[in-house]
Structure 1
Amino acid sequence: MHAWPASEVPALPGEGRDLRIHDTATGGRVTLVPGPVARLYVCGITPYDATHMGHAATYNAFDLVQRVWLDTKRQVHYVQNVTDIDDPLLERAAANGEDWEALAERETVLFREDMTALRLLPPRQYVGAVESIPKIVPLVERLRDAGAAYELDGDIYFSVASDAHFGEVSGLDAEAMRLLSAERGGDPDRPGKKNPVDPMLWMAARPGEPSWDGASLGPGRPGWHIECVAIALEYFGMGFDVQGGGSDLIFPHHEMGASHAQALTGEHPFAKTYVHAGMVALHGEKMSKSKGNLVFVSALRREGVDPAAIRLALLSHHYRADWEWTDDVLAEAVERLGRWRAAVSRPDGPSADALLAEVREALADDLDAPAALAAVDRWAAAQAADGGTDEGAPGLVSRTVDALLGVAL
């Protein structure tokens, strides 16, 4: 599976500082000090509806992580998956009366187009669950043969008791885990399970549903969590720098993925740092495909909204915050974009050296994009009020906003 084209990242004078970011597993901030190549895995979409604002906010957050790393003169190895086989996809295809593969392909294409329009840097590997099945099957067999998994009516479940570190990512108690498991695709009430939250690794073939050769597992399809584990282990191995996604993935997805990998390898941790973006609401409720309360990037683009304004709307909220999408949020972003473009269109202006330092400092401080935007606002206000005589300033501001915030002026 291919990703989308990369936009050029302008070079800036000097270099940024190491990113200090909130780690879900420890509950505090940590300074990320990767090697020459920083490794980032972000969980991708299940393609039965393409990019809504919740998706866009999450991927925008991890685009900032990449840009901060690039500004420290590191390379970035970014991997993202596509869950192109799962119950929600099959259910939507059935409801629409269309082939599930055609639905997945169409929505994945639209997602790529949205990412390109928003100028989000693409992953080096963009990998589907279906193409990963040959790698997933041996991992499930290894877990089963090691006693970390068990069979139940033909399905294979992971035993969370097999990982001594289970629970360290989310920090949740057993009851909270059980409730979230039921809410987020698990089956805690199924009789015969060793632990209610044990997740499925391999689902035996169901009548009328797609299935694949599972070797000794029998025909079937993979569970959700093992998909990302197989991909991350393939390209990174254990101990990569950041596992990212929305906060709704903390449990069960990232908790289970970590335990799968740790039980498979005997090593800890799966990822050094777990970073999660907040949820975006509409009309008082989290944007959700199941609720249908969605604002789509593609719909706004069709209405003629500049993707740069959409991106500024996302950047106006801290990545870890839960916030609500409104018409006013977009209108303010459109107005800000106009002010910034007017400010950099002049032949000279106030010095921008301090601005570059402020934007770098804000983003290195737990990706404080609102503070970065405020710094650019101050420069634009000074430009509008008094101007300046630095002929290189407008160009430096444009390159700073492009390189670090991903917004083309």
Structure 2
Amino acid sequence: MSFKTLIQDMRDEIGSFRLRSSRSLRASVVHEGPSPFGEFDALKQSCWANLPPELLRDVLVRIEESEATWPPRKDVAACAGVCRSWRDIMKELVKLPEISGKLTFPISLKQPGPREFPLQCFIKRNRNTHTYYLYLGLTQALTDDGKFLLAARKSRRPTCTDYLISLNKDDMSKGSYTYVGKLRSNFLGTKFTVYDAHPPYAGAVLSKSRSMRMVGSNQVAPRVPAGNYAVAHIAYELNVLGSRGPRRMQCVMDSIPSSSIEPGGIAPVQTDFPLSSLNIDSLHPLPFFRSKSARLDPSTSRTDHLTTQKDSKKLTLKNKSPRWHEQLQCWCLNFRGRVTVASVKNFQLVAAPEEGGTVNQEQDGKVILQFGKVGKDLFTMDYRYPISAFQAFAICLSSFDTKIACE
């Protein structure tokens, strides 16, 4: 029996049980008969409930080990969606992205990327609707559909511009359960702030703003997890004289210490969406599976007090300065074949030196985030530890915004 057939049989059995249970409940209410709790005995005696935990765990371990990449890895997520016992086991087996290099559950988008290699993603832009979609590349070719990760919608305001980021490509409102954060710019488009809707680490300070008060009022559902936690600040250097040249940008990661890029350094890891007041199973079609691997794996344990110290220095990222190519008569960077179209939006971010100075131009392996154009509305985005997919996506969105004083 194939795995897909096994999953389908499981769902059919649960569906038929719910139908029988609901019919029995209605009959007991109308005829004032006995309580329908006897139906639960049938579920307890099913082959799925009586499956030995050791055997179930062995099956799920083999599925986790055999599926390394998407789309086959979708079966791992399907296992976590079968029932609570299956989900609890899968949450223990799935490792953090920085170790496994895999994005399995939605919470993985808030966790740092791999240490050894970058995750290759791409962004599709829709000019008509002012929306942007982030996908995980399944192959080396950019023609594949990819795995959808995040979506953002541009919203203009009189004094600023907001990019609302969501896990759902069809619902990007701040009142949605799938809202994960936003990017806000100033009037000139030279400074940006990345806000996380959930605490990025223990002891994170909630930023107060007008939008925060509106979301916390009765205008939306009171259970919506709305918040503004500043996790990064992005600044583009002014170009008031209009001299030609590439953009210069700097990113200060408020939630990541500078020691995270050192050998043995650690970055804060979110292990849960704070939705304890919600029914996790009712969030269809995108359940918020939560990973506990950071707590269960001693090798990946985190100490929150290291990331919440006020005196810890924040990680600063700066764009690598391109070189002027005399033959091509343009500024060039080594994107290793991931960028094919020249654009002012293209950039590579590396960790800034501790005491100032210039960045080593030959340290291509130290690039933490690179973004570049490959088509009219298609862009590549490659990121790695210590930033997450959400943070990388927000930084790339800042490059799309119009910059009055930088062009």
TM bucket (normalised to shorter chain) is under 0.3
Q: TM-score, normalised by structure 1?
A: 0.24
Higher-Rg member (1/2): 2
| Structure with greater proportional strand content | 2
- Larger RCO, structure (CA 8 Å, separation 6 or more): 1
